[in-house]
Amino acid sequence: MSLFIIKILLILLGLFVVKAIILSAVFSREIKCIQHRDPAARGFLEVLFLYQGLHALMFHRIAHVLYRMRLFFFARFLSLLARLFTQIEIHPGAQIGECFFIDHGAGVVIGETTVIGDNVLLYQGVTLGGTGLEKGKRHPTIGNNVVIGTGAQVLGDITVGDNSYIGANAVVIKDVPPNSTVVGVPGRITKQDGKKIDISLDHIHVLDPIMQSIEELQRRIDRLEKK
């Protein structure tokens, strides 16, 4: 009996190894992108087995294929399983590009008609949602090289341009031009000195347009007082 159990365990271990090899081959690019962006990622296997953002993406890739085959029930069922395991909800209809990374991930919601470009980074609590009951395209289109901070809400059929940064807890309901930073509620757009946004994890040097306006007014007041 004990020999039989050992054989079963060895078979299961073999299947586990084969599965790991297949997944690592299919998602090798996403894993390398995560390693590049997350300083806490210590190794290839750690990312493969322990990162719920990657697991949610794995589920979604399969669910999206089922959705395109019009097997809607099975696609939604798979996305439900993904949400139970990862706390990340991605509708199977969403279109997601390469090198997509959800850091930490809990509470992320991505709607059905969302379109996400390449090299996009989301943090926990982000919602890419709709604003009404209208049919058709009702969720955001996110460009390439975009970072969306913790708790941000991007709502409606709007476009976030390439190389943009959405600050933590911002609420974005209007189009965002490329190379912009958006902060506040509702979201206010500011350029990062006219430069391309660096997609690194440096979140502390984000310009606030309201503070910029206040500082400019203060400088004008100072000049008037001197006169």
Output 66 or 19, whichever has higher pLDDT. Answer: 66
pLDDT at position 55 is 86
Give me the half-sphere count of Cα atoms (radius 13 Å) on the Cβ side of residue 68: 8
122-128 — which CB contacts under 8 Å span 24+ positions? 122/148, 123/148, 123/149, 123/150, 123/151, 123/152, 123/168, 124/150, 124/151, 125/150, 125/151, 125/152, 126/150, 126/151, 126/152, 126/153, 126/154, 127/152, 127/153, 127/154, 127/155, 128/94, 128/154
Could you tell me where the DSSP H helices lie in 27-86? 28-37, 44-50, 52-68, 72-86
Output 198 or 158, whichever has higher pLDDT. Answer: 158
- Residue indicated by tokens 């991007």: 154
For the cut 90, the answer to whether the pLDDT of residue 116 exceeds it is: yes
For the cut 70, the answer to whether the pLDDT of residue 8 exceeds it is: no
pLDDT tens digit string along 182-214? 887 777 777 655 555 554 455 555 666 666 677
Q: Please, what CATH class does the domain formed by 94-207 belong to? A: mainly beta
For the cut 60, the answer to whether the pLDDT of residue 56 exceeds it is: yes
Domain ranges of the chain: 20-50, 58-89, 94-207
